[in-house]
Structure 1
Amino acid sequence: MEDNSHFEVIIIGGSYAGLSAAMALGRSLRNVLIIDSGLPCNRQTPHSHNFLTQDGATPAEISAKAKAQVLKYSTVKFYNDLAVTGKKIDNGFQIATASGKEFTAKKLIFATGIKDTIPEIKGFAESWGISMVHCPYCHGYELRNQKTGIIANADRAFHLASLVRNLTDDLTILTSEKASFDSEQREKFKQHNIKIIEAEISEIEHDNGYVKNVIFTNGDKAPFTGIYAAIPFTQHSDIPASLGCELNENGYIEVNFLQKTTIEGVFACGDNSAMMRSVATAVYGGNLAGAMVNKELVDEQF
Structure 2
Amino acid sequence: MKDDKNFDVIIVGGSYAGLSAAMALGRSLRQVLIIDSGLPCNRQTPHSHNFITHDGEKPSVIAKKAKEQVLNYPTVRFHKGLAVSGKKTSNGFEINTENGELFSAKKLIFATGVEDIMPGIQGFSACWGISVIHCPYCHGYEFSGKKTAIMANGERALHLASLVNNLSTDLTILTSGEANFSVEQAAKLKKHGVTVIDEPVSKIQHKNGWVEKVIFKGNKAIAFDAVYAAIPFRQHSSIPVELGCDLTEQGHIVVDNFQKTTIKGVFACGDNTSMMRSVANAVAAGNLAGAMVNKELVEENF
Same fold (TM over 0.5): yes
Residue number in structure 2 paired with 1:300: 300
Structure 2 Cα separation of the partners of residues 261 and 3 of structure 1: 27
Q: Does 1:257 align with 2:253?
A: no
For residue 288 of structure 1, report the CA deviation from its aligned partner.
0.2
Q: Output aligned runs, 1:226-265, within 5 Å.
A: 226-265=226-265
Number of the residue aligned with 2:268: 268
Q: Aligned partner of 2:276: which letter? A: M
Output the amino acid matched with 2:57: A
C-alpha deviation, 1:275, in angstroms: 1.0
Given residue 103 of structure 1, which amino acid in structure 2 is its aligned partner? F
Query: What is the root-mean-square deviation of aligned Cα atoms in Å?
Result: 0.9
Letter in 1 for 2:102: E
- Counterpart position of 1:210: 210
Alignment-derived partner of residue 81 in structure 1: 81
Q: Which aligned pairs between 1:70-149 and structure 2 lie closer than 5 A? A: 70-149=70-149
* Cα distance, 1:203 vs structure 2: 0.2
Give me the whole-angstrom Cα distance separating, in 2, the residues matched to 1:260 and 1:41: 23
Say whether 1:222 aligns with 2:204: no
Quote how far apart the aligned CAs of 1:274 are: 0.9
Provide the C-alpha distance between the structure 1 equivalents of 2:3 and 2:259, rounded to a whole number of angstroms.
30
Write out per-residue CA displacement over residues 255-275 of structure 1, whole angstroms, 9 at most, x where no aligned residue: 000000000000000000011
2:29 aligned partner: 29
CA distance in 2, matches of 1:250, 1:125: 22
Residues of 2 paired with 1:97 and 1:76: CA distance? 18
Distance, in Å, in 2 between the alignment partners of 1:98 and 1:6 is: 18
Question: Quick one: which amino acid aligns to residue 145 of structure 1?
Answer: G
Aligned to 1:183: 183
Question: In 2, distance between residues paired with 1:144 and 1:80?
Answer: 39
Moved over 4 A (4+): none
In the alignment, what sits opposite 1:54? 54
TM-score after normalising by structure 1? 0.99
The one-letter amino acid of 2:88's match is K
CA displacement at 1:128 relative to structure 2: 0.4
Distance 1:2 1:106, change over 3 A: closer
Which residue number corresponds to residue 11 of structure 1?
11
Displacement after TM superposition at 1:2 (Å): 8.2
Q: Structure 2 counterpart of 1:146, which letter?
A: K
Tell me the distance in 2 between the aligned counterparts of 1:248 and 1:196.
31
Distance 1:243 1:189 in 2: 44
- Matched-pair identity in %: 64
- State the alpha-carbon separation in 2 of the partners of residues 99 and 40 from structure 1: 20
SS in 1 for 2:271: helix
The secondary structure found in structure 2 opposite 1:270 is coil
Q: Which runs of 5+ in 2 are unaligned?
A: none
Q: Tell me which amino acid in the other structure corresponds to 2:175.
A: T
Distance 1:83 1:219 in 2: 44
What amino acid sits opposite 1:100 in the alignment?
A: G
- Secondary structure, counterpart of 2:149 in structure 1: strand
Give CA deviations for 1:192-225 in whole Å, capped at 9, x if unaligned: 1000000000000000000000000011111100
What TM-score does the superposition give when structure 2 sets the normalisation length?
Answer: 0.99
Q: CA deviation at 1:171?
A: 0.2
* Aligned AA (1:44): Q
List alignment gaps of at least 5 residues for structure 1: none
State the number of aligned residues.
302
CA shift digits 1:32-52 (9 cap, x unpaired): 000000000000000000000
**Distance in 1 between the 2:273 and 2:255 partners?**
7
